[in-house]
Amino acid sequence: MLILSGSENMEYTVQKLGEMAGVSTRTLRYYDEIGILKPARINSSGYRIYGQSQVDKLQQILFYRELDVSLESIRDIMTAPFFDSENALREHREKLLEKREQLDILIANVDKTLALKEGRIIMANKEKFEGFKQKMLDDNEKKYGEEIRAKYGDKQVDKSNSKLKNMTEEQYAKVEKLAVHVMTTLSEAFATGDPAGELAQKAANLHHQWLCYYWNSYTKEAHAGLAQMYVDDERFTAYYDKKQPGTAAFLRDAILIYTSVKE
């Protein structure tokens, strides 16, 4: 049931709003429950009624969801006293343009590869990976960008990203192989229970080598600081502790010994 209120302001039931926005009524009810999108009012029959303000707010929420922002983060952003919907739309546009550029690169990559398979062009191996490095950078930025930039600064992070984008195919293959070697050695070292042991120190050294592929310059203090972040930030901890709980703390301890930096 579509409800008219005045000559221009339209009101919607949860069902009608869901149909218009392409989301389920269950989703809208859940948004209400967690406080991210409350209806304008509840009518005498107990139906949720949404007005123009809620329509605009739902649009913002769906923009954020399209950019893979968590509901918890969206709620924090949109309920902040300084939230500006117009500025948010401009930011959405910028992010979506970046996403479109990334998709255009990948589509072009697919087209080139099809042309190669059909014998119409010659394609360098390096070209086959265009777009994938950028996606990795975008994913890392989304997950850890705020913390990393706060700790090391925009300039250092941007240099690191540039270094990755300019890696040759051979360098990229080496760093991927090295990353696996780090994790394998770390797993073996963890079983010994000794972060000062030979295996643990080998893992710390391999981690050092791996960082040098990304970092513009290496310092023991920065290495130790990153290792501490693996323990302080639950997302890093979850990554390292995925198979063996306690691995992140073990790696931190091994790196602190390796760099001779005390806690």
State the SS3 of the chain. Answer: CEEECCCCCEEEEHHHHHHHHCCCHHHHHHHHHCCCCCCCEECCCCCEEECHHHHHHHHHHHHHHHCCCCHHHHHHHHCCCCCCHHHHHHHHHHHHHHHHHHHHHHHHHHHHHHHHHCCCCCCCHHHHHCCHHHHHHHHHHHHHHHHHHHHHCHHHHHHHHHHHHCCCHHHHHHHHHHHHHHHHHHHHHHHHCCCCCHHHHHHHHHHHHHHHCCCCCCCHHHHHHHHHHHHHCHHHHHHHCCCCCCHHHHHHHHHHHHHCCCC
pLDDT at 6: 38
CB-CB contact of 5 with 50 (8 Å): no
Amino acid in the structure at residue 214? Y
- pTM of the shown model: 0.46
pLDDT at 137: 63
| pLDDT per residue of the chain (263 residues) written in tens, 0 to 9 | 344 333 346 899 999 999 999 999 999 999 999 999 999 999 999 999 999 999 999 999 999 998 888 899 899 899 888 889 888 888 888 888 877 877 777 777 777 677 767 777 666 555 655 555 566 666 666 766 676 677 667 776 667 767 766 677 677 778 889 999 999 999 999 999 999 999 999 999 999 999 888 887 889 998 999 999 899 988 889 989 988 999 999 999 999 999 986 55
Instruction: Please count the other Cβ atoms lying within 10 Å of the Cβ belonging to residue 167.
Output: 17
pLDDT at 192: 95
CB-CB contact of 218 with 258 (8 Å): no
pLDDT at 36: 94
Cα gap 25→33, rounded to integer Å = 12
pLDDT at 2: 41
pLDDT at 151: 66
